[in-house]
Structure 1
């Protein structure tokens, strides 16, 4: 029997100069981990998104 997954995508907001606080990233990872989400990928940048995007999954 295969598992069903739910996915969550969160963009970590950057500052005016394009940087982000590592503490903000850590807080978001900890928060989602406590809620049962597992990090499966980080997209660092695309032509339209400059901030890191976190992709999580958990069993539905």
Structure 2
């Protein structure tokens, strides 16, 4: 039987200039890790999204 996954997508808040605090990133990673989520990808700026998007997964 194959493992089924749940996914979580979290947008990291940025400043008006498009930067973000590394402390905020660390906080979000720690928070989701405590909840059992594993980071699998980070999507950086695209033409329509300026803030990094974190993608997590965990087994159902």
Shorter-chain TM-score bucket reads over 0.9
**Mapping of residues 1-60 of structure 1, within 5 Å:** 1-60=1-60
Ranges of 4+ aligned residues in structure 1 off by more than 3 Å: none
- Mind listing any 5+ residue stretches in structure 2 that lack a counterpart? none
Aligned partners of 2:48, 2:26: CA distance in 1, in Å? 24
- Mind listing any 5+ residue stretches in structure 1 that lack a counterpart? none
With the length of structure 2 as denominator, give the TM-score of the two structures. 0.97
With the length of structure 1 as denominator, give the TM-score of the two structures. 0.97
Kindly tell me the number of residue pairs found equivalent between the two proteins: 60
